[in-house]
Amino acid sequence: MGLHTEKNLPVKAAASKRAVWRKRVRDNKFAYMLMVPTIIFMLLVHLLPMIQGFWMSFLKLNQFTLGKYLKAPFVGIDNYVGLLFNSDNPVRQGLNFAIRNTAIYAVIVTIGVMVMGLMMAMLLNRDFPGRSIARTAMLLPWVVPSYVVGVLWGFMWQQNGIINYFLVDVLHLYAEKPFWLLGPNTIWAIIIPTIWRGWPFLMVIFLAGLQTIPEDIYEAATIDGAGKFRQFWNMTLPMLKPVIAVQLLFQIINNVYSYNIVSTMFGNGAGYPGEWGDLLMTALTRQSFGYWSFGSGSAASIMLMFAMLMIVGVWYRAFRTELNTQ
């Protein structure tokens, strides 16, 4: 309807639209008041630094110019060009593996925590002896700080560590004790602890989601002869879709920006996690501070941000209906 009137009476419609808008602003004074503190904080600690970071990406910022900060020599889009087209660019060289690893890591961890979380939520949604103890115990990994997780699992992954003891000495899965902290296995050494620490949270969320699904629809489905799998696929999953949508996005963001576990597992912030352990955040930190190329580092961050924006765009298109039904 709006479209129609607007076409016919553009001037009047625009005027009344503005009036409506003004009225809406006036009516929502209370809402704006509630928002004020948040907005101030976000301007101060998000918008302002972001503008600076954006500006930094156009500057030649190395150890000699760092003292001038925002007045450092302006180099236009050189930093971006260097990252995108110059294969000798040291920053870019450092990022190649990180991009691949982060992609693998983010996808596997995201799927891992969601599948594990959902599975455990369904197991814990049944009635069985000791259920509340089990629920609490399952949540504990989430409470362990990630910088502890990195160190702890670092010990467990050692070649003569406890994990290889289980895999080789107890279960005989490998003929020889494999390296987990060297070579391609490194990526598993960081993925698995991340999933371990991440899925309990998802479990709570899914558990919460499951509890809102009424029992009787399952009973009805059972009477209709639908199997367990069919029930899960046709009823449980669709009911959980809004939850899944939101958590999916937050998980992707979290995992792409993952830093703590990797940095504490390898060299305590000073080491190089290796070609299969380096993630975007460890690489960017190294490029910015280790190489003192803050300009290129910012440019890389900005590009990463735009890439993430695109992912959010895809996500929004995929889940638009679920997000708007509430």
Partner 1 sequence: MKKTAVSISALLMAFSVVVSGCGGNSNSTNAANNGGVKEESSATTAPATSKAPSMEPVTLNAWVMPNSPKPDADFLKTIDPYLKEHPNVSVKVTVLDWGSAWTKITTAATSGEGPDLLQLGSTWVPAIASMGGIDKVTDKVADVGGAEAFLPAIWKTTSIAGDSEVYGVPWFVDARAIYYRTDVFKQAGVDTATAFKDWDSFKSALQAVNGQTVDGKKIAALGLPGKNDWNVVHNIFPWIWAAGGDVLSEDNKNVTFNEDKGLDGVMYYTGLAAEGLVDKASLEKNSSQIEGDFGDGKSAVIISGPWLAKNFATPKANGGMDDKKAAKNFAVAPLPAGPGGQATFVGGSELTVFSGSKNKEATWELIKYLTADEAQKAYAAVSGQLPARLSLLESPDLDANMKAFSEATKYGRTYPAIPQWGPTETALQKHFANVWDIVAGVKGKYSRESVKEELDSAAAEVKAIINQ
Partner 2 sequence: MSTHRKRSVSSFLLTSVTWLIVLLTIFPILWMVFTSLHSNDQILNGITTFSLPKPQWVNYINMWDTVNFAVYFRNSLLICGATTLLAGTFAVLAGYALARFDFPGSKLFSMSIISTQLIPGIMFLFPIYLMFLWIKNTFGLPMINTYWGMILVYTAFYTPISIWIMRSFFVSIPRDLEESATIDGCTKFQAFYKIILPLSLPGIIATGIFIFLTAWDELLFAWVLTTSSDVQTIPVGIRLFVGQYNTRYDLLMAASTVVTVPVMVIFFMTQKYFISGMTAGAVKG
Interaction between residue 205 and partner 2 (CB under 8 A):
yes
Question: Segment 277-296, which members bind partner 1 (CB under 8 A)?
Answer: 285-286, 289-293
CA–CA gap between residue 17 and residue 19 (Å, rounded): 5
Number of residues that bind partner 2 (CB under 8 A): 101
Q: Which of 279, 280, 298 is nearest to 288 (CA)?
A: 298
Selection from 257, 310, 254, 264 nearest residue 279 by Cα: 257
Distance of CA 136 to the CA centre of its chain: 25
Binding partner of residue 143 among partner 1, partner 2, none, CB cut-off 5 to 8 Å per kind: partner 2
Contacts of 232 (CB under 8 A, 6+ apart): 122
Residue 59's DSSP bridge partners are 74
- Which of partner 2, partner 1, none lies near 321, with the C-beta cut-off 5 to 8 A by kind? none
| Shorter beta-carbon distance to partner 1: residue 58 or 180 | 180
Of 75, 74, 78, the C-alpha closest to 86 is 78
DSSP H/E element including 308:
helix 294-324
- At its nearest, how many Å lie between partner 2 and the CB of residue 3? 19
Amino acid residing at 200: P
In whole angstroms, the minimum distance from the beta carbon of 139 to partner 2 comes to: 7
- Token pair 């000699």 is found at 64
Asked whether position 275 contacts partner 1 by CB under 8 A, the answer is: yes
Rank residues 88 and 216 by Cβ distance to partner 1 and give the closer one: 88
Residue 294 CB, shortest distance to partner 2, in Å, is: 6
Closest CA to 262 of 292, 285, 291: 285
For residues 184 and 276, is the Cβ–Cβ distance under 8 A? yes
**179 or 218: CB nearest partner 1:** 179
**Which SS3 state, helix, strand or coil, does residue 46 take?**
helix
Stretch touching partner 2 by CB under 8 A, among 7-15, 80-88, 91-99, 127-135: 127-135
Kindly tell me which residue out of 136, 176, 215, 223 binds partner 2, with binding defined by CB under 8 A: 136
Is 148 among the residues that bind partner 2 (CB under 8 A)?
Answer: yes
The CA distance from 108 to 114, in Å, is: 10
Site for partner 1 in 53-82 (CB under 8 A): 62-64, 66-67, 69
Closest approach, Cβ 152 to partner 2, in A, equals 5
Which window, 84-92, 93-101, 124-132, 182-190, contacts partner 2 (CB under 8 A)?
Answer: 124-132
d(CA 159, CA 216): 51
Q: Would you count residue 204 as binding partner 2 (CB under 8 A)?
A: yes
Residues in contact with partner 1 by CB under 8 A are: 62-64, 66-67, 69, 88-90, 93-94, 158-160, 177, 179-185, 266-272, 274-275, 285-286, 289-293
